[in-house]
């Protein structure tokens, strides 16, 4: 299988990455990423599927299948792209290693922003060398329905130490800051999609892109026969 290739525009002045498992990619990811692109005035938002997530259980779909679904989901959206480096690298996917590699590629000046949902942020202290993330870029936390600010004092202190009030301020420097942002709230999760499919239910087009639904059926993924 050939993993589809997407490249950021050579004129890009900001590197905006959104890592995840995308098992499968859903319309919560897609809609939020489009809104983020508009809010920051940055294109593209590069969705970055992991190979072997380091902080959660093994995905159901293979890395190649998740990348293929991602390619189908973003096909019609010029403001979105995919970064396939973790899928190609294989082995455990550590965001800090990916950010270090990207920083090496883009040089010391360009802002690098790593986006994550609030649920991912809540588990940040379990991430490999988490405090080094800001050595290479910024962290942007997106609120998400039914997720709340973590109560972990160390994480909150870290957040307060590095925060800027408006996510747009992250565009003014290469690294070292955190922000949070509330976009349109899309109450959809990959867990919920997998459960629906396993029960023989059909997720709506506002939850799962039809092309991705077709791919899932063609590959008999998530318990579909």
Write the DSSP assignment of 32-67 as a string of letters. HHHHHHHHHT-S-EEEEE-SEESSSPPPSS-HHHHH
The CA–CA distances, whole Å, from 33 to 21, 57, 105, 125 equal 15, 24, 23, 24
At its nearest, how many Å lie between ligand ATP and the CB of residue 14? 19
User: Which of 80, 190, 208, 216 forms a contact with ligand ATP (CB under 6 A)?
Assistant: 190
The tokens for 44 are: 């593209």
At its nearest, how many Å lie between ligand ATP and the CB of residue 152? 16
Q: Which one of the spans 19-27, 96-104, 199-207, 215-223 is the region binding ligand ATP (CB under 6 A)? A: 19-27
- Binding of ligand ATP by 66 (CB under 6 A): no
Stretch 160-189 residues interacting with ligand ATP (CB under 6 A): 186, 188-189
Query: Which residue number, 49 or 111, has a Cβ lying nearer to ligand ATP?
Result: 49
Characterize 184-214 residue by residue with b for buried, 16 or more Cβ atoms within 10 angstroms of its Cβ, and e for exposed. Answer: eebebbbeebbebbeeeeebeeebbbeebbe
Q: Which one of the spans 6-14, 22-30, 122-130, 155-163 is the region binding ligand ATP (CB under 6 A)? A: 22-30
Total residues contacting ligand ATP by CB under 6 A comes to 18
- Binding of ligand ATP by 21 (CB under 6 A): yes
User: Which of 80, 111, 144, 222 forms a contact with ligand ATP (CB under 6 A)?
Assistant: 144
Task: Report DSSP state, residue 58.
Answer: P
Give the angle subtended at the CA of 184 by the CAs of 178 and 153, to the nearest 5°: 35
Cα–Cα distance measured from residue 177 to residue 161, given in angstroms and rounded to the nearest whole number: 9
Instruction: List residues binding ligand ATP (CB under 6 A).
Output: 20-23, 28-29, 32, 116-117, 119-120, 142, 144, 186, 188-191
């Amino acid at each position: 299988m050939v993993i589809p290739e997407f490249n950021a525009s050579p004129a890009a002045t900001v590197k905006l990455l959104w890592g995840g498992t995308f098992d499968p990619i859903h319309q919560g990811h897609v809609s939020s990423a489009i809104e983020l692109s508009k809010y920051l005035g940055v294109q593209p938002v590069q969705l970055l599927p992991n190979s072997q997530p380091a902080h959660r259980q093994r995905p159901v779909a293979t890395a190649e299948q998740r990348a293929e679904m991602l390619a189908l989901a973003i096909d019609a959206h010029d403001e979105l792209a995919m970064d396939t480096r973790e899928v190609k690298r294989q082995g455990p996917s550590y965001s800090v290693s990916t950010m270090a590699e990207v920083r090496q590629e883009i040089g010391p000046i360009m802002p690098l922003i790593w986006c994550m949902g609030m649920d991912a942020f809540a588990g940040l202290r379990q991430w490999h060398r988490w405090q080094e993330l800001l050595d290479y870029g910024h962290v942007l936390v997106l609120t998400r329905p039914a997720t709340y600010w973590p109560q972990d004092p160390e994480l909150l202190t870290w957040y307060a130490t590095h925060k800027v009030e408006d996510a747009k301020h992250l565009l003014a420097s290469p690294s070292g800051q955190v922000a949070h942002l509330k976009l349109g709230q899309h109450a959809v999760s990959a867990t919920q999609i997998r459960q629906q499919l396993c029960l023989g239910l059909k997720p709506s087009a506002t939850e799962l892109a039809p092309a991705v639904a077709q791919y899932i059926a063609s590959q008999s993924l998530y318990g579909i026969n």
